[in-house]
Chain A
Amino acid sequence: MEELDRILKQLKLNKPVIKDREFLREGIMNGITKKSRRLDYLFGWTEIVWLRRSLATASVVIVIMFALQQLRVVSRIDKLEKRMLSFNTEKILEYQRENVIVNSVIMHSQETAILADSIKVSTNDLLNLIREYRDLQTKYEQIVESKTNEGSNINKQKL
């Protein structure tokens, strides 16, 4: 199209010109000066080599410390979990032992004369009774043991 080519030719020849060229250039220069001053103020310290290096070292140390602390915390939690587990196992075992005794007492009482006549004992009372009995038994064993130890000491002295 001829007309288009003619117009394009004119547009090519007539290059747009900046009005207030100096003003625009100084605007750019002022902008970069302001920007570099602001950057100097904010990030100027990054140019100090010793400060940069020491901060980098400090950050590495902090990261290592954090990792070690985490490891320590995890191992402590692990230990506590193990302790809790063994404590719970002991409790369960004791409970089961008591149950066995209660059941045996009940079984035994069913076979004997006191069955169903007049005495009624609740499971809790029975458990308490058994606990008391076991405490007494422990104490008795301790007394016997101490007596035995005393006897052996006297024998040693005699000898």
Chain B
Amino acid sequence: MRINNKTTDLDSIYSIEKIKAGNEDEFRKLVDVHMDSIYATAMRITTDEDDARDIVQETFMKVWEKRKSIKENKSIRSYIMRIAINKCYDLIRKRKSRYKANRVDYTSVINEIADNNRPDYKLDNEEVVSILKALVKGLSPKQRVAFTMVELEELSHDEIAEITGMSKTSIKSNLNHARKKMEKSLKKYLN
């Protein structure tokens, strides 16, 4: 999935002008268009379904609150994503202890995927969460964000820099550290 700095095709489904004026029906269209990707990103970063739902809800509430400050010439998706990422940071910091305490056995799922190389392998949310938990367990919030956005969302460094406010160098170094840590923790789970 790619996002541009300028308006995208998806943006033409709803009218930013009407949303800024307080039109709730137009806002519903915006929610419809963006909620899936925001949910996926939030879930990959937080590795928790309930947290991801909360983040989606809070993000769109904030977008509605701040609708008057939306700039029409910029990508609304980047704007929404920025809010969501900040919410993720807040949540990870707040619930740090809970993440550490949550210990599940991921070994079987990880080994199964690592051995099979089938493109049609279907994972449900719980399996995705289990694998992500195992991989991102020791990562810092910035490393999690860099890893999710580069490796899973496949966004460019420029786009990530615009969304997160991190410099390109910081993104690269966070990603390298994240990969090293993940390789290390993966070794523990592989038979």
Contact = CB atoms under 8 A, between A and B. Distances in A.
The answer to whether A and B assemble together is: yes
B128 interface: yes
Contacts of B65: 35
A31 interface: yes
Contacts of B151: 8, 12
Interface string B51-65: 011001100110011
Contacts of A15: 40
Contacts of B131: 7, 10-11
**Residue from the set A8, A18, A21, A36 with the largest chain B CB neighbour count within 10 Å:** A18
A33 B49 CA distance: 25
Contacts of B39: 16, 18, 24
A32 B114 contact: no
A32 B61 contact: yes
Interface string A105-133: 00000000000000000000000000000
Given A16-B129, A28-B56, A32-B27, 4 more contacts: A3-B114, A4-B186, A7-B110, A35-B65
Contacts of A1: 183, 186
Interface in B113-167: 113-114, 117, 119, 121-123, 125, 127-129, 131-132, 135, 151-152, 154
A158 interface: no
A79 interface: no
Q: Chain A: interface secondary structure?
A: helix
17 contacts: A4-B186, A6-B113, A8-B151, A10-B113, A12-B154, A16-B128, A17-B125, A18-B53, A18-B56, A19-B49, A21-B35, A25-B28, A25-B35, A29-B31, A31-B57, A32-B60, A35-B65
Contacts of A3: 114, 186, 190
Contacts of B121: 10, 13-14
Nearest to B129: A16
Given A4-B186, A6-B114, A8-B151, A28 B179 contact: no
A36 B22 CA distance: 9
Given A28-B57, A32-B64, A7 B28 contact: no
A16 B122 CA distance: 11
Q: Chain B: interface secondary structure?
A: helix
A6 B128 contact: no
B135 A10 contact: no
A44 interface: no
A31 to B, nearest CB: 5
Nearest to B67: A32
A13 B114 CA distance: 14
A151 interface: no
B80 interface: no
